[in-house]
Structure formats: C-alpha cells, structure tokens
Amino acid sequence: MLLSCQNAALAYDGRVVADGLRFTVSAGDYLCVLGENGSGKTTLLHGLLGWKTPCTGKIIHAAQPQNLGIGYLPQQTAAQKDFPASVFEVVLSGRIGRLGFRPFYAAADKVAAQKNLKRLGLGRFGRQCFRELSGGQQRRALLARALCAAQKLLILDEPLAGLDPAAVRDVYALLQKLNADGLTIIMVSHDLPGALSHATHILHLQGRQKFFGTVKDYKAWRKREHA
Ligand SMILES: Nc1ncnc2c1ncn2[C@@H]1O[C@H](COP(=O)(O)OP(=O)(O)OP(=O)(O)O)[C@@H](O)[C@H]1O
C-alpha cells in the first residue's frame, strides 16, 4: 500500500467538496481520477500530497509524503507560464527534493534533467527561456520536471490539457513505459477513452466518491448507471 483514503472527506471553510473517499493505491497501480468540473479532483490530489487534511476520516501514507518520492504536475496556472528561467533550470528544479544537505545540484541531477527533457521531446529547448515556449511545450517541460522528482509516485493533474494529438499519444506511451518499469501513477483526466485503455484503476468523483475499482469493473458500473 502506498496510500489509502479511509472514509475521508475534504472541505473548504466547512463546505465539503469531496466526501466518502475509500480507496487504496498500491505500488505499480495506474489510477485515473475522472469527474466533471468542480467534482473535487484537484482537492483530492492536494489531500494525497499531504497539503490538505481531511475534515473527517483519514488519508494514510506508507511514509511521510515528503519521503515518498512524489513527482507532481499541477494544473496549469497563469503564474507558471511566466517563469523567468531556462527550460533546463525549470526541469532541473524537480530534483530539489533530493538535494538534502547538498547546496548544489550534482552531475547526476543534471543528467536526469537532460534525460527527462529528451523524453518529452524538448532536448533542443533546454537553453530557451521557459516563458518563450508554447503552452503545450510548457506543459511537457513541467511534466519533465515532475518526472525528475518522481521516485515512486507520479501525481498528474490534467497532464494532457493543451497537448496536440501526437503529444497526447507520446505522453500516454511514456506513462505506460514508466508504469511498466514500476512507477505508480495517479492522474486526473477528462479523457475517458484514454483512461479506459491505459489505467489499471478508475476513481470517479462527483462531490463524493461514485466509483473506485478496476477498469473492467468501471465499464460494468457505467453500463448499469446508464441503463
Ligand atoms: N481554495 C479553494 N477555496 C474554496 N473552495 C475551493 C478552493 N479550491 C476549490 N474549491 C471548490 O471546491 C470544489 C472542487 O474543486 P476542485 O478544483 O477540486 O474540482 P476539480 O474536479 O479539480 O475541477 P476541474 O475539473 O474544473 O479542475 C469546487 O466547488 C471549487 O469551487
């Protein structure tokens, strides 16, 4: 078990926005979180990252969240778009959590940043200023940054937003490979067909947990729901 929600609810100022959360994520899982706008997906991710404490129930982590080796790609915000640093520096900053008491990045950190830049098809953009990239290129650079941080768990909030179809295919292929190599993935997505063909588990939210289980069981549940 990497993390587990035990009848947890998350709220803002006493207003519950995600309720009845009961699910477990194990090492090697690929969980897609589905649900319409405002259904509590991003709030849940903040709970899983240990940034938001449940108002009832518990979210249990296998270790302190900061020691779990989590790479996180947030939903895009306007502030991220104007980051005044090179693409390489942005990606390299994903290694900050591994510096410990070291004051500088080591050669291994730089090699990892370059490798992840290449993985996302941005090998030749390293020296360019991050804010000069297109929206889709920025998204890929931030995914490369999250990969630099991810040792055990990758948490992605709508990683496909703003990507062209070829980039979407590439990201799915990359996630599939990383997952096959043992990385656990939790990903918020609005791409139902993509989730059904790539994930191992689905969590469906609608202000509360509507479904959690395997993709096969989710398909059967949807059939019943829409019958
Ligand atoms: N910081 C906040 N303070 C107060 N309410 C918030 C805050 N963040 C989100 N909410 C509210 O919580 C609810 C769930 O929001 P959340 O961002 O988790 O939804 P989501 O499923 O990720 O939506 P989307 O698909 O649009 O990104 C919404 O009603 C939203 O208005």
123 Cβ below 6 A of ligand 1: no
User: pLDDT by residue (tens digit) across 24-72?
Assistant: 999 999 999 999 999 999 999 999 999 999 999 999 999 987 888 899 9
State how far the Cα of 183 lies from the Cα of 85, in Å rounded to an integer: 28
Comma-separated ranges of CATH 3.40.50.300 domains in the chain: 1-69+151-227
Nearest CA to ligand 1 atom 16: 40
The pLDDT mean for the chain works out to 94
Residue 64: what pLDDT? Answer: 86
Give 72's strand partners: 155
Q: What pLDDT, on the 0 to 100 scale, is given for residue 82?
A: 76
Instruction: Specify the pLDDT at position 79.
Output: 62
Report CA(77)–ligand 1 centroid distance (Å): 14
Q: Check residue 47 and give its pLDDT.
A: 97
Record: fold of 1-69+151-227: Rossmann fold (3.40.50)
Output the pLDDT for position 193. Answer: 97
Tell how strand 153-157 and strand 70-73 pair up: parallel
Give me the residues paired with residue 205 across strands.
Answer: 209
DSSP 8-class letter at 122: -
Helices marked H in 127-191 — which ranges?
135-149, 165-180
pLDDT string in tens for the chain (227-residue length): 999 999 999 999 999 999 999 999 999 999 999 999 999 999 999 999 999 999 999 999 999 878 888 999 999 776 667 778 999 999 999 999 888 777 889 999 999 999 999 999 999 999 999 999 998 899 999 999 999 999 999 999 999 998 999 999 999 999 999 999 999 999 999 999 999 999 999 999 999 999 999 999 999 999 999 88
ipTM for the predicted complex comes to 0.98
pLDDT at 142: 93
Ligand 1 atom closest to Cα of residue 35: 21
* Structure-block tokens of residue 111: 């090699």
CB-ligand 1 contact for 40 (6 Å cutoff): yes
